[in-house]
A and B are shown apart, each in its own frame.
Chain A
């Protein structure tokens, strides 16, 4: 049995009075890819934003229940610390436009005022870019602005930026929804390679993508966690009628 890295217990999240995540109980296992799948507006993005305490940054929001990162209650720890241990990549690539590729990768250190020696930072940059499968493409242009890269490369740059902090978990919030099929394939391949070093949580509304890359899948609908299980099992023999309807394209 896999060991649990992150566990949500009776987790609910609100925008004002509107409950978008209802009583979710979910375990994320170590060093595998877990997909959170569901139609638009089902609360999947909000759920993962509760995992690194980004949800609370939006005014007038509320989180109930608990989230544990290796037995530590993350809502009892400073959010800055949590966000360094749980990295996040967003829907649209968002490299820092004023920074070079090199500085984008180590932005987590620079912006936090953590000083690195030259050799250290060079090592981290190369290692992170290699992990994100971007090194060969950019190693000769490290001093160029990150925004000169193509969309897919920018997204891998953002993955490298998150990986540089050596997080326990990497949250990918629909990382390919703004990319073309080729760049998408590249990132999907990357996700399966990454899991040996980091636990990956992928949010997607793309059923095929969930099937291609993940080991476990959670299906969410209207804020509820409908079903959770091994991807193969959930995709071939769903237990819940709503899961089956979503998989067969009846809605979503």
Chain B
């Protein structure tokens, strides 16, 4: 009788294992499908010309998306400029001060900010920056994206630095090193891989954001590198071209999607490599 029971248990155990593996594999299906469709429709659109030329008017064959690629990089740059230093500083502060009123408020604010819909951030940027500056611009789009980067950077910085043993900080302080130098020269370098990964992940997150750019960066059919003028971006271009009635533009939208997904994948890969390579052993 006991043997029968054990047999049943083994069968149940196996069944459960198979189910878990199947369901896990199922979570990969959407990504595989997305990649498959984008590659199938978009890969043929990509050429040297596609990457280096400007869009052509409706009806003309060819043309490229150089303005959107440059615009996306410009927006990421403008977004990173305030978001990285502020995010790292806030993350350091939170990891150093776990208790207290201000850390509590800060943590709450970061969580709420992370949950704020991107379209709302776009509207706020529109009200505060676009109206104040009298027009759409790369700066307003960059700031909207920067606000979206902040919570990711703050949290990854805090989590990374929390894992660094206190004994390391004590080693530095016991040598008579002032607190701020200990943070800058010992704690942050020890957590550099985690912090860098956080930055890359946050860039990957904003690279595909469309909503905050609709009323800030706005889009621009021409090449522009002036940060107080409207600028195009890959997700904006995809949005505009995919909703147009022209098959040629649809093809370009697929191509642009392909490049955008490729960039995001690349960022994630680089982040993974950094985590592995720069690993600090305590």
A residues in contact (CB < 8 Å) with B: 52, 54, 57, 79-84, 87-88, 90, 92, 94-98, 107-108, 110-113, 145, 147, 158, 161-162, 165
Contacts and interface: CB of A to CB of B under 8 A. Distances in A.
Nearest to B278: A98
Interface string B156-187: 00000000010110111111111001100110
Contacts of B280: 97-98
Given A111-B181, A111-B185, A111-B186, A97 B168 contact: yes
Contact of B170 (A54, A84, A107): A54
Given A57-B173, A94-B165, A113-B181, 4 more contacts: A87-B175, A97-B168, A111-B172, A111-B185
Contact of A94 (B171, B178, B189): B171
A57 B167 CA distance: 12
B48 interface: no
B185 A87 contact: no
Given A80-B177, A98-B189, A111 B182 contact: yes
B190 interface: yes
A81 B177 CA distance: 9
Contacts of A108: 175-177
A147 B279 CA distance: 12
Contact of A81 (B167, B176, B189): B176
Secondary structure dominating the interface of B: helix
B175 A94 contact: no
Q: How large is the interface on B (under 10, 10 to 19, 20 to 34, 35 or more residues)?
A: 20 to 34
B168 A54 contact: no
Contacts of B172: 96, 107, 111
A147 to B, nearest CB: 5
Contacts of A94: 165, 167-168, 170-171
B175 A90 contact: no
B175 A165 contact: yes
Contacts of B173: 54, 57, 83
B26 interface: no
B186 A147 contact: no
A84 B177 CA distance: 8
Contacts of B168: 94, 96-97
8 contacts: A54-B174, A80-B176, A82-B176, A92-B167, A94-B171, A96-B171, A98-B192, A108-B175
Contacts of B174: 52, 54, 83, 87-88, 90, 162
Contacts of B185: 110-111
B175 A84 contact: yes
A91 to B, nearest CB: 8
Contacts of A92: 167
Contacts of B178: 80, 112
B27 interface: no
Contacts of B182: 111
Given A52-B174, A54-B174, A112 B181 contact: yes
A103 to B, nearest CB: 11
Contact of A161 (B175, B186, B282): B175
B167 A90 contact: yes
A110 B186 CA distance: 11
Nearest to A79: B176
Contact of A158 (B165, B171, B181, B192): B171
Nearest to A96: B186
Complex A-B, nearest 9 residue pairs according to Cβ-Cβ distance, in ascending order: A84-B176, A83-B176, A108-B175, A88-B174, A111-B177, A94-B167, A94-B171, A80-B176, A98-B189
A147 B282 contact: yes
B281 interface: yes
From A87, A97, A145, A165, residue with most partner B Cβ within 10 Å? A97
A221 B167 CA distance: 26
A110 B189 CA distance: 14
Contacts of A84: 175-176
Nearest to A113: B181
Nearest to B168: A94
Contacts of B282: 97, 147
B188 to A, nearest CB: 10
Nearest to B172: A111
